[in-house]
Amino acid sequence: MVKRSCEEALAQVYLYLDGEVTWYRRSLVRRHLKKCPPCDDKFAFEDRFKAVIRARAQEDPPPEIMDRLRTYIRAVGMEDPPIG
């Protein structure tokens, strides 16, 4: 069974890796990752995965697409859930 704090941290994995969270939320996630090796492993995997995708991508998506994606993520409530 996954702890609530792990669920909350993992829900923010891409926002965290993309630098899309507040400095306070980032510090909470970092603290959780230091205490939780399984979550740290998952974040590291996602970070490596993103690096591979970036390396193989031909070009960056247009800024308009990224803005729409950020707006959608915030609209569905994935922005800054509490972390315990």
The domain tally of the chain equals 1
Answer yes or no: is 63 within a domain: yes
Structural domain span for residue 27: 4-75
The pLDDT of residue 36 is: 92
Answer yes or no: is 68 within a domain: yes
Q: Write the pLDDT tens digit of every residue in 31-66.
A: 999 999 999 999 999 999 988 888 877 777 788 988
Assess contact for 29 and 21: CB atoms under 8 A: yes
- Residue range 6-17: average pLDDT? 84
Quote the mean pLDDT of the chain. 83
Answer yes or no: is 33 within a domain: yes
- Residue range 60-75: average pLDDT? 85
37 or 7, higher pLDDT:
37
Answer yes or no: is 34 within a domain: yes
Answer yes or no: is 84 within a domain: no
d(C-alpha 73, C-alpha 67), whole Å: 10
- Residue range 56-82: average pLDDT? 77
